[in-house]
Structures are given as C-alpha cells and as structure tokens.
Amino acid sequence: MFSNLNASEVNHSAKSTNKKISVLLLDDEFEIFRKITPLFERQERFSIVGQASSVRIGTVMIQTYLPELVIFNSNMTSVLPEEVPGIIRKIINQSPNTKIISIVSENDASQIFRVIKAGASGCLSSTHLGESLINSLEQALKGEVVIPPEIATKFVGVLQEFYGPKAEDQPAEVIIKSLTTREKQLLLLMMKGYSYEQIAEVCDITVSTVKTHFNAIFCKMGVKNRVQAIGIALRQDIQLLVEPSLVSDLKEVSVHPRNEKKEASRISL
C-alpha cells in the first residue's frame, strides 16, 4: 500500500531529491574563478558555495559547509609547492567525505604525482578548465581518480621514475648492450678516473662532445652523474664485459687520472 503525501511533504521530497552538490573553490586567483563559474551556471547538479582566497579561510569554510567537493588550486601564490600535500591531507582529515580536485601546472609532473599521492581524487590542468570540468567532478564523486589525457602521460612518467626499475637492478649485460662502442670507451676511461678534458684528449674529440656522450650514458644507466655511474659499473664489474681493445686502440697520451673514486683507479683494463 502506498502512503499519501500532502503538498508540503511532496515539495520537501522534491527539494531533497534536487539538492545540489556543494563545491568550494580554494584559490587566490580570480581568473580561475571566472573561468569556472560560467560552467556551473549552465548546469543544475553542482553549486559553488564559496571561494576561499587562503588556506586559513578555506579551513573555516570547509568546517562550516562540509562541501562534497573542493577545487584546490595548487599554484596559489600564498602556498609553497612543498606545502601542497600537507594541505590536501589536512582537508581530508578535516572532512573525510570531501573529494579534492587539484588544479596543477600541466608541465609539472612531480606536482601531479604529489597531489595524487597526498589523497586528491584527481587533478586538472589550469589551461584546460573547460566543459570537461563537470564530467571530471562526476567521476570524482564516483570514486574514480581523475587525470585528463593531456597530463596522464607525464603522471605515468613520474610513476616510472619513482617505482620503475632502478639502475642497480639492471644486469650489467643489459647496460653494456645499450651502449655504443664510443660510449663503452668513455665509460671505461671514466672508471679509470679520467676527467672530461683528459678523455677528450685521449679520444681526440671535444670536451663538449664528451659531455654529450656522458649525458647519453647516464640516461641509459639510469643515473644522474659520473659518481653514480662509476658506483654501478664497479659493483657489476662492467669492465669485464667490455673488449680491452676498445681502450688499448686509443692514442697514448700522458695523463694523470683524477681519483673521483679510489677503487676506480685500481682497475686494470
């Protein structure tokens, strides 16, 4: 049997059903606010309950409104980059049911990684706040992580950097196979402690060319500098896999290798 509702009860029920989802904007740039507000005016599901121009004001407004969504501009002028993850975690602790969408710089991959790791439900590029914004908010409410295509590849790149194979995990055979003959020569000379200038003289090339080769070597080995490269090469006995003729064929010059790493100078090639 269906129960009868009077007019006031029907109106109350309709209002409850049509209740808009509250959105709070945490941002000190009114330009972004102006980009977003027209989108909300053209739809009926979401409603901006306010804009906080500082984290302090935002904290108070979140306590007051308990918004279902917070759009947080990670590039606020009053916020340092290293403070962003802490702000996101603070909002989540303060209002666990609130979903956070962070506005990030499209080219800052590490920023994208930090906001997602801190607990944000997604991120949006500050240059792509268009019609897809509403759809992104819908996704966040469903528990999905929102990462638009224009920044997804950068995010994946950071994941690979943080969690992908480390240089020390690569077998020596794999590293050697990835190097050209010239790169192998330079790697062996580097392990003997030769400076860039000395390597240039031995190989009869310019210092600039030497540095270009080493940038390629470091990239292939997954390291950032010659000290790290030497450490990997020594631990994996890479010199044993390289043909001795690669160095013996080089012209003889009088050089005094630098002792950047003591054990490197003791290796006999």
Q: What pLDDT is recorded for position 2?
A: 31
Distance CA(239)–CA(188), nearest Å, equals 7
Range(s) within the chain of domains with CATH label 1.10.10.10: 167-266
Global pTM value: 0.55
Nearest CA to 79 out of 53, 98, 101, 100 is that of 53
- The answer to whether 27 and 76 have CB atoms below 8 angstroms apart is yes
Nearest CA to 48 out of 32, 144, 88, 145 is that of 32
Distance CA(25)–CA(139), nearest Å, equals 18
Nearest CA to 122 out of 51, 133, 52, 78 is that of 133
Q: What pLDDT is recorded for position 121?
A: 92
CATH assignment, 167-266: 1.10.10.10
Nearest CA to 215 out of 189, 235, 243, 196 is that of 196
Q: What pLDDT is recorded for position 184?
A: 83
Range(s) within the chain of domains with CATH label 3.40.50.2300: 7-163
> What sign has the CA pseudo-torsion 145, 148, 151, 153?
positive
CATH assignment, 7-163: 3.40.50.2300
User: Per residue in 121-163, pLDDT tens?
Assistant: 988 887 778 777 888 899 899 888 888 776 776 666 666 555 5
Positions of the chain with pLDDT under 70 = 1-18, 150, 153-170, 172, 236, 238-269
